[in-house]
Amino acid sequence: MTDNIRTIADRFYQRLFTAHPELIDGMFNRGNQATGAQQQAIAGAVVAFARAQVESPEHPVERLLTRIGHKHASLGVEPGMYGIVHDHLMAAIVDVLGEAVTPPVAAAWDEVYWLLAHALINIERGLYSGHGLTPRTVWRTWEVARRIPETDDVVTFVVRRVDDRLVRRSLPGQYVTALMPMPDGVRQPRQYSLSHADDGRHRQFSVKRIHGEGGPDGEVSTLMCQDLRVGDRVTLSAPYGDVVLDDSGRPVVFASAGIGVTPMAGMLSHLVTAESGLRVMVLHADLDEESFPLRGQIVDDIAKLPGATLHVWYERGADAGMPVDDVFAGLMDISQVQLPDNALYYLCGPLPFMRYVRGALIERGVAPSDIRYEVFGPDLWQADVED
């Protein structure tokens, strides 16, 4: 069946949204539906989980499940939704495979699905409980207090709470989901990394406007970058995300490219707030200095951390006006810097960038378990840099 899983996923979503069109409002990213990325995501999740059950059932795919669970919690997914998904997924399997779905085959895939579903339900229950929330109360209204243009395509938003409910602090590296009403009235969710440590009243996140490059522009990022102003209200989830800063005391290396710098900026800000004495090394790649989001905040935070260093690569030439320890022309080449011993590494950026950095680190003897990474987009399981 794995050869047909993408076709099954397409049929599943057709059935699901025909029966439950309300799920498009606030739950699913319709941009990813249009490009097929969402279909690829669910297909990859089911296949990866099924393969793991067959090949190594004694080792559950914890990383896969944790990532999906955090994303679901940030969307307010309820346990009852798994029954709806089950019914339409199993019907899609029969639609596509027909008589090949014998009772034993159907029973096997039914078992795989519910193993996956119950594991996720348990993870999500713990995540909601940890915030003192339920799926219905994961959302909260904030007001835009500041709007900071970072580059031609990136805007940072600082939002403040508008009620008396306490704000549970985020962990360094986490994200929130923004639930934005579109002009047609449909609410669309998008995840954004928190790019500054919380102070109990404010949160900060940065949005890159997505240009379609032959297709439609990103509808949510365009709306936010063009139209969201100081004083406007925005609905955000509680913070979630499993790629968070380790507090073991080991040196830390952040490697990012483009908008992938946002979770790194958030982690740096947390280190400054904690008056950390960790050795910190920041590696960033971009087109040029003007394209480097949050560069002012990062330079300021680097200056507040004893022994922290900043090393940049610019495709358009080795020119830097801000204080950096190294500036190189071209794509990132980690052989050009001296990495600290026994460090933990955090990566975020386009998938080819992360594959290169991870591969280069492993070639230099870094243990895979010491490399953490955040993948933007829906297919957190298929776009795994370990593949």
* β-strands 252-257, 344-348 pairing: parallel
Exposure class string for 278-308: b at 16+ Cβ within 10 A, else e? bbbbbbbbbeebebbbbbebbeebbeebeeb
Instruction: Give CA–CA dist 140/236, Å, rounded.
Output: 6
Cβ neighbours for 262, distance < 8 A, ≥ 6 positions apart: 192, 193, 194, 195, 205, 206, 293, 294, 348
**Whole-number Cα distances in Å, 206 to 29, 215, 369:** 19, 23, 29
Instruction: Give CA–CA dist 150/270, Å, rounded.
Output: 20
Cα 194 to chain centroid, rounded: 11
Please give, one letter per residue, the 3-state secondary structure of 184-196: CCCEEEEEEEECC
Instruction: Give CA–CA dist 318/330, Å, rounded.
Output: 8
Active centre residues (catalytic): 82, 124
| Range 113-121 contact pairs with CB under 8 angstroms and sequence separation of 24 or more | 113/46, 113/86, 113/89, 114/86, 115/49, 115/53, 116/45, 116/46, 116/49, 116/65, 117/82, 117/85, 117/86, 119/60, 119/65, 120/65, 120/68, 120/69, 120/72, 120/82, 121/79, 121/82
Exposure class string for 309-328: b at 16+ Cβ within 10 A, else e? bbbbbbeeeeebeeebeebb
**Whole-number Cα distances in Å, 190 to 29, 178, 179, 235:** 7, 5, 7, 11
If we measure between CA atoms, which residue out of 67, 76, 74, 79 comes closest to residue 114? 79
- Which residues are registered as beta bridge partners of 372? 346
Instruction: Give CA–CA dist 171/266, Å, rounded.
Output: 9
